[in-house]
Amino acid sequence: MSRYIFFSGKGGVGKTTMACATAVHHALSGKKTLIVTTDPASNLADVFEQEIGHKITSIKGVGAIYPEGHRHELPLHAMEIDPDEATREYKENIIGPFREIMPEDVIASIEENLSGACTTEMASFDRFIDFMGTDEYDIVVFDTAPTGHTIRLLELPVDWSKHIEESAGGSGRTCLGPVQSIQGSKEKYDRAISILRDPSETNFIFVMRPEELSLYETVRASNELGTIGIRTGEIIINGIYPEEACEVEFFKKKFLAQQDVIKKAEKLIERPKRYMFLRDNEVKGIEALRDVAEELFKKAVSSQRSAISKKIPEDISRNTQPLNSPFTRKGFFKKTFSEKNNSLFLPENGTKAIFFTGKGGVGKTTVSCITALRMAEKGFKTLLVTTDPAAHIGEVLGKKVGTEPSAITDNLYAVMIESKTAFREYKEKVLNDAAGKYSEEMLAAMEEELNSPCIEEMAAFEKFAQFIESRDYDLLVFDTAPTGHTLRLLDLPFDYARQMEIMADASSGSSITGKITKERFSNIINMLRDSTKTVFTLVLYPESTPIEESYRAMIDLKNAGVETQFVIANMVLPEDVCTNNFFRNRRSMQMKYLSEISDKFKLPVAVYPLMEEEITGVEHLRAVSMRVEPQ
C-alpha cells in the first residue's frame, strides 16, 4: 500500500470529502494517519467540524469509534498549511542559523531577499515537502488545491532542484538569496521527486464529477502529470444521480448525461475506478465520513454498470407539494435583482472590472460568461479574462480562447492567462529592455534570476496587471481561480508595493522586481479598492463549505480594503422538479442555507437555478441569460 495518497481534480468535485473519508478509513484500520491540505482556502475544518489550523491536530471522535484491538493513542491527525505561517517559519529556518555568525548587514541582505512575493509560494511548497520525508505516520493523505495549482505544486521540486544546481554552477545566487542558504533543500526536493514518481510509495487519485468539463480536466491533468513522471493511480467518479430518484424529465436528462460521461470515462481512462452516488444531504462530521468511507472501500468498482444500479431509500415518494419558502425563483429574482443592483455592473467614467470568485466548482466560469455576454449585448465592449490555470472558458463559450484577446461575438472578447506563455513573454521582455543598458555579466545574472520558478508567478501577475490597467474596454470580467489562489493573486500588488519600500536598489537593474515601480502597484491597489471601478462578486452554491469559504474570502478582502458587493447563489434546485424525498431533502437543505446567506453576508443575493444540461456555446449562454435576468 502507498504511504502517500494525493487527491486532486477540478474544483467542487468532492476532493476534500473523499480525502477526509479515506483518512478516516485508514485511521479506523489501525494505521496512524495524517491528512494535510495544500489548498490556501482549506475546508478540512468545515468537513471535520472542528478547528484545525497550521498545526498538527488530533481529530476528535475517531477514537470513540475506533475498533477494538486496533486502538492507537492518536489515530487521525490533520493540518491546514497556512501560507503566512509557513512563510514566517521558512524565513526563520534560513536566517536563524546565520544570526549569531554573520554581520548585521549580511542578515539584512538575506531578509531583503526573502521579502519577495515569491517566498510565500516557496514556503508553502517547502512545508508540504516536509511531510514526504517523515516516518512518523503510516499514511499521509494530501488534500490538494484544484488541479491547475496542484500541477504547479508538483512541478516545483523538479524546477527548484534544477534551478539550485544551475545557480550553483553560475552566479551562486537565486531569487531567494545565495545558493548556500538553500543548498540543503536540493536533497529534500530530489527525494520528493523520487517519492512522487514511485507508484509503490505514492498513489495519485483524481476525483471527478460525471460531467464533460470534469472529464476533460481529469484527462488533461493526468496527461500533464505524466510529463513530469507522475502516474495517475485511481479515479473516483463522484456525485452520480441515483436512477430511481430521477423520475421527472429534468433529472432524467441529467442522469442520462451523467451515464454518457461515465461511459466516455471508461474508454478514455484506463485506470481503476470507484463510483460514489449523490447523497440527499451534505457530508460533514466523523459519522458521515465513516459512512462515505464504507461505501468507498467496500469494493473497487470497475464496471460502469454498477454506477447505474444504485438503490435509494424506500421512503422516496412522489409527493409534489411545494416546499414553503420565500425563495421561489420568480419572487426572489424580483427581490434581489433590483435596478440598483443591476447598475453595479454598469461602467461609469472609464473601465469597470468585475471579479467573480468563490470555491472551485460553484460555477464561476459559467456565471462569468453569462455576465460578459449580457453586458456585451447591452453595447459595452467587454473583455472576459480567466486567471484560472485550469481554465475552460473556451469549452463554455464554444470557441477557442488563447493567450491574446480574441473576438467571441459583437463587443465580446476573451483571453486566458497561461503561466508558461506569460513566463516566456515576461522573460523576453525584461531581457530585451535590458539589452544594451547593462554589462554582459549583469545580463547573464538577470537571465539566471529569470529562470527561477518564482518568476512564473510574477509573470502571470504581470499579465493580470496589464489587463487591470487596460483602458481598451468598457468592462473587464475576471473569471478567477478558486478562492485561495485568487486571494493570493490579489495580494500580490500589496506584496510588491511593500517590497518596493524594503528594496534599497529598487530603481537599479540588479533586481527584476525593481523594474516595476511602487507607483504602478499603488494605482492597481487603488483601483481594486474603488467600488465604482471594481465589483467583487462571490459565487457559491447553498451548502456549508462554499458559504464558509466565501465568507472567509469576504473578510480577507475587507481586511485589505476591498469591499464585496454582490453574492450569486448558484445551482439551486428548481422547486417544481423536486418531486420525491431525495431531491426534496436536498432542496430543503438549500433553502436553509439561502436564508443563512442573506443573514450572514448582508449583501444583495441573486439565485441562479440548476440547469438541465451543461452550458456550451454562445446561443446556449444567451438562452440561459434570459432565464436568470429579470425582465
Q: Which three cell numbers stand for residue 111?
A: 531578509
pLDDT 10s digits, 444-460: 767 766 776 667 777 77
Q: Which of 540, 576, 625, 566 is nearest to 329 (CA)?
A: 576
Between the two ends of the chain, the Cα-to-Cα distance in Å is 58
Q: How far is it, in rounded angstroms, from Cα 388 to Cα 369?
A: 14
Note the pLDDT of residue 210.
Answer: 95
**13 and 131, same domain (yes or no):** yes
CATH number at residue 429: 3.40.50.300
Q: How far is it, in rounded angstroms, from Cα 483 to Cα 238?
A: 22
**287 and 348, same domain (yes or no):** no
Residue 96 located in a structural domain: no
Mean pLDDT of 561-579: 93
Note the pLDDT of residue 500.
Answer: 46
Q: Which three cell numbers stand for residue 185?
A: 533543500
Note the pLDDT of residue 332.
Answer: 39
192 versus 180: the higher-pLDDT residue is 192
430 versus 355: the higher-pLDDT residue is 355
pLDDT at 250 over 50: yes
Which pTM was predicted? Answer: 0.78
Mean pLDDT of 355-373: 88
pLDDT at 550 over 80: yes
pLDDT at 72 over 60: no
Burial of residue 514 (CB within 10 Å: 0-12, 13-18, 19+) is middle
Q: Which of 291, 279, 321, 354 is nearest to 536 (CA)?
A: 354
Q: Which of 433, 394, 403, 406 is nearest to 421 (CA)?
A: 403
| Residue 34 β-bridge partners | 77, 140
Predicted confidence band at 423 (pLDDT cuts at 50, 70, 90)? Answer: confident
**339 and 270, same domain (yes or no):** no
- Distances 380 to 409, 612, 625 between C-alpha atoms, Å: 12, 30, 16
Number of domains in the chain: 2
120 versus 370: the higher-pLDDT residue is 370
pLDDT 10s digits, 339-350: 445 578 888 888
β-pairing, 382-386 vs 475-479, is: parallel
424 versus 38: the higher-pLDDT residue is 424
Q: Which three cell numbers stand for residue 439?
A: 554589462
Mean pLDDT of 68-84: 73
Predicted confidence band at 202 (pLDDT cuts at 50, 70, 90)? Answer: confident
pLDDT at 306 over 60: no
**Amino acid making up residue 596:** E
Range with the largest mean pLDDT of 184-198, 213-227, 538-552: 538-552
Residue 570 located in a structural domain: yes
Specify the range with the lowest mean pLDDT, choosing from 3-12, 530-539, 590-599: 3-12
Mean pLDDT of 231-239: 89
Note the pLDDT of residue 264.
Answer: 95
Q: How far is it, in rounded angstroms, from Cα 217 to Cα 268?
A: 12
438 versus 379: the higher-pLDDT residue is 379
Mean pLDDT of 380-396: 82
Q: Name the strand (E) or helix (H) holding 394.
A: helix 393-397
**60 and 160, same domain (yes or no):** yes
Question: What's the count of helices (H) and strands (E) in the chain, helices before strands?
Answer: 23, 18
Q: Which domain holds residue 480?
A: 329-628
Residue 100 located in a structural domain: no
pLDDT at 508 over 50: no
Contacting residues for 532 by C-beta, under 8 A, at least 6 apart: 348, 349, 352
pLDDT at 432 over 80: yes
**297 and 396, same domain (yes or no):** no
Residue 513 located in a structural domain: yes
pLDDT 10s digits, 7-61: 988 778 888 999 999 999 999 988 999 999 877 667 888 899 999 988 999 998 8
Predicted confidence band at 491 (pLDDT cuts at 50, 70, 90)? Answer: low
**473 and 349, same domain (yes or no):** yes
Q: How far is it, in rounded angstroms, from Cα 417 to Cα 426?
A: 12
Point out the domain boundary residue: 274, 307, 340. Answer: 307
β-pairing, 139-143 vs 173-174, is: unpaired
**259 and 340, same domain (yes or no):** no
Note the pLDDT of residue 271.
Answer: 87
pLDDT at 169 over 70: no
Compute φ and ψ for 422, nearest 5 degrees.
-60, -40
Q: With pLDDT > 90 as the criterion, what percentage of the chain qualifies?
A: 31
**387 and 273, same domain (yes or no):** no
Note the pLDDT of residue 490.
Answer: 64
Torsion angle (degrees, nearest 10) of CA 467, 451, 508, 504: 90
Q: With pLDDT > 70 as the criterion, what percentage of the chain qualifies?
A: 74
**258 and 222, same domain (yes or no):** yes
Place of cell 466548482: 361
**346 and 226, same domain (yes or no):** no
Point out the domain boundary residue: 307, 340, 372. Answer: 307
**393 and 294, same domain (yes or no):** no
Q: Annotate 322-340 with DSSP letters as a single string.
A: PP--S--HHHHHHHHS-HH
**340 and 283, same domain (yes or no):** no
Note the pLDDT of residue 358.
Answer: 83
Predicted confidence band at 303 (pLDDT cuts at 50, 70, 90)? Answer: very low
pLDDT at 561 over 80: yes
Note the pLDDT of residue 226.
Answer: 83
pLDDT at 308 over 90: no
Residue 312 located in a structural domain: no
Note the pLDDT of residue 172.
Answer: 55
Q: How far is it, in rounded angstroms, from Cα 313 to Cα 308?
A: 15
Q: Is there a contact between 148 and 390 (Cβ–Cβ < 8 Å)?
A: yes
Q: Give the helix ranges, DSSP H, for 406-507.
A: 419-434, 440-450, 454-469, 483-502
Q: How far is it, in rounded angstroms, from Cα 22 to Cα 292?
A: 9
Question: Quick one: how far is CA 167 from the chain centroid?
Answer: 32
Specify the range with the lowest mean pLDDT, choosing from 22-31, 180-189, 576-585: 180-189
Contacting residues for 103 by C-beta, under 8 A, at least 6 apart: none
In terms of residues, how long is the chain? 631
pLDDT at 233 over 60: yes
Q: How far is it, in rounded angstroms, from Cα 271 to Cα 269?
A: 6
Residue 617 located in a structural domain: yes
Note the pLDDT of residue 302.
Answer: 40
Specify the range with the lowest mean pLDDT, choosing from 233-242, 507-516, 603-612: 507-516
Q: Round the average pLDDT of the chain to a whole number and report it.
A: 78
pLDDT at 309 over 70: no
Half-sphere exposure of 614 (CA within 13 A, CB side): 22
Residue 605 located in a structural domain: yes
- Distances 351 to 229, 401, 409 between C-alpha atoms, Å: 45, 22, 20
Residue 94 located in a structural domain: no
